């Protein structure tokens, strides 16, 4: 083996230096600020952080508790329809049920209607990946990547939209009626403007064609759908196809098995200009979405919102816990400091 020759500078040669350049940056001569920690600054930071988090947390909890919310489970109340939907051969048979409830006080302000599902796991990896974002962007209605097993039929016809998420879309129809003087007045509901702006205008686009039915020619609806995607909303052409609000809301999957999705908003006109007046109401439900086989439950929720959002108190509880921990830590540090200072004073006197 050849030995590695070391570099020996000859007479008159300058040995190369590995030292950094003599600049303010490389020699760390730039001015810097280093906090001087003492008892006063440490304790004040803990107590100020605790006071801030506690005040914000209490405000969020009080705000969440001020939300008016009514949740109705209609799984058992529509048991006849549920039994009908257990048999997949009855997919084309209509089934309707009604759920009555009473508002003892007026609900003022903007009112939102949600549908809720329990024990429906959207966070399964294969379920979440079973979609084609390129297809949903309208690039090619026949794209079938990642959609297995809901990509094509046995005869080779591609599904539009493809994938397990789209195939399992929630398709119950919910209408709200106000029972006034033995006559039912249908509450006007808004079915658009319920999805995220980025989803509606960026992530979901219809294929370009002179009409939507020709754009989806050569494709077929998913197996569990009752009508093709270009007929999701026959009354509003700007809310059909891949840019249908109900479809967009469903495609944003939930991380938990129990979740709610925004379904409608109450249109504030006529006697509902200020909200929902007190009285008797009825939900008329066209029951299409089966939940019995996976032991699920279905809810319909009426709710208002406040400046902090809905009725979820999680963020407020998190702030309260953080503030309590910071305050208790400050008291513990104070106790340790006083104890050590007493010992130091005792030994100095002796």
Query: What is the C-alpha separation between 298 and 119, in angstroms, rounded?
Result: 10
Cross-strand partners of 100: 282
Dmax (CA) of the chain = 114
Q: What is the pLDDT of residue 89?
A: 76
| HEC assignment per residue over the chain | CCCCCCCCCCCCCCCCCCCCCCCCCCCCCCCCCCCCCCHHHHHHHHHHHHHHHHHHHHHHHHHHHCCCEEEEECCCCCHHHHHHHHCHHHCCCCCEEEEEEEECCCEECCCEEEEEEECCCCCCHHHHHCCCHHHHCCCCCCCCCCCCCCCECCCCCEECCCCHHHHCCCCCEEEEEEEECCEEEECCEECCCCCCHHHHHHHCCCCCCCCHHHHCCCCECCCCCCCCHHHCCCCCHHHCHHHCHHHHHHHCCCCCCCEEEEEEEECCCHHHCCEECCEEEEEEEECCCCCCCCCCEEEEEEECCECCECCCCHHHHHHHHHHHHHHHHHHHHHHHHHHHHHHHHHHHHC
Residue closest to 146 by CA, chosen among 165, 164, 125, 129: 129
Contact call for residues 113 and 301 (beta carbons, < 8 A) = yes
Conformation bin of residue 273: beta by default, left when phi > 0, alpha when psi is -120 to 50: alpha
What's the chain's length in residues?
Answer: 350
Task: Quick: pLDDT tens for 49-97.
Answer: 999 999 999 999 999 888 899 999 998 888 888 888 887 777 778 899 9
**Sequence spans of domains, the chain:** 43-67+306-332, 70-304
Low-confidence stretches of the chain (pLDDT < 50) are none
Query: What is the C-alpha separation between 312 and 323, in angstroms, rounded?
Result: 19
| Residues in CB range of 194: below 8 A, 6 or more apart | 245, 246, 249, 262, 263, 264, 265
Residue closest to 212 by CA, chosen among 241, 247, 249: 241
Q: What is the pLDDT of residue 139?
A: 81
Contact call for residues 105 and 251 (beta carbons, < 8 A) = no
Residue closest to 72 by CA, chosen among 298, 305, 304, 303: 298
Contact call for residues 298 and 172 (beta carbons, < 8 A) = yes
Peptide linkage before 2 cis (omega within 30 of 0): no
CA angle in degrees (0–180, nearest 5) for 29-35-38: 145
Q: What is the pLDDT of residue 218?
A: 85
pTM of the model: 0.79
Provide the CA 161 distance to its chain's centre, in angstroms.
22
Q: What is the pLDDT of residue 255?
A: 92
Contact call for residues 164 and 127 (beta carbons, < 8 A) = yes
Residue closest to 157 by CA, chosen among 223, 250, 211: 223
């Amino acid at each position: 083996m050849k030995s590695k020759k070391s570099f020996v500078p000859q007479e008159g040669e300058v040995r190369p230096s590995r030292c950094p350049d003599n600049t303010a940056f490389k020699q760390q001569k730039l001015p810097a600020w280093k906090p001087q920690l003492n008892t006063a600054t440490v304790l004040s930071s803990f107590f100020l952080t605790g006071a801030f988090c506690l005040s914000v947390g209490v405000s969020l909890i009080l705000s969440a508790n001020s939300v008016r919310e009514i949740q109705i489970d209609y799984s058992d109340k529509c048991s006849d329809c549920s039994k009908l939907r257990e048999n997949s051969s009855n997919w084309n048979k209509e089934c309707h049920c009604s759920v009555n409830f009473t508002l003892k006080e007026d609900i003022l302000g903007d009112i939102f209607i949600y549908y809720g599902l329990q024990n429906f796991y959207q966070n399964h990896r294969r379920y979440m990946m079973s979609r084609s974002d390129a297809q949903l962007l309208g690039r090619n209605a026949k794209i079938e990547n990642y959609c297995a097993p809901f990509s094509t039929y046995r005869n080779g016809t591609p599904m539009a939209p493809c994938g397990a998420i789209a195939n399992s879309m929630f398709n119950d129809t919910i209408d709200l009626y106000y029972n006034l003087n033995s006559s039912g007045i249908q509450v006007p509901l808004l079915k658009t403007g319920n999805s995220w702006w980025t989803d509606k205008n960026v992530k979901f686009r219809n294929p370009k064609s002179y009409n939507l039915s020709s754009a989806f020619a050569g494709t077929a609806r998913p197996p569990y759908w009752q009508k093709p995607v270009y007929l999701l909303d026959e009354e509003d052409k700007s809310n059909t196809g891949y840019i249908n609000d109900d479809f967009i809301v469903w495609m944003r999957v939930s991380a938990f098995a129990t979740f709610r999705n925004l379904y409608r908003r109450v249109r504030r006109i006529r006697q509902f200009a200020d909200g929902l007046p007190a009285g008797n109401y009825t939900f008329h439900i066209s029951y299409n979405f089966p939940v019995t086989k996976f032991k699920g439950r279905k809810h319909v929720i009426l709710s208002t919102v406040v400046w902090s959002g809905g009725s979820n108190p999680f963020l407020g509880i998190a702030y309260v816990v953080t503030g309590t921990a910071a305050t208790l830590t400050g008291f513990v540090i104070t106790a340790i400091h006083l104890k050590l200072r007493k010992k130091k004073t005792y030994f100095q006197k002796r």
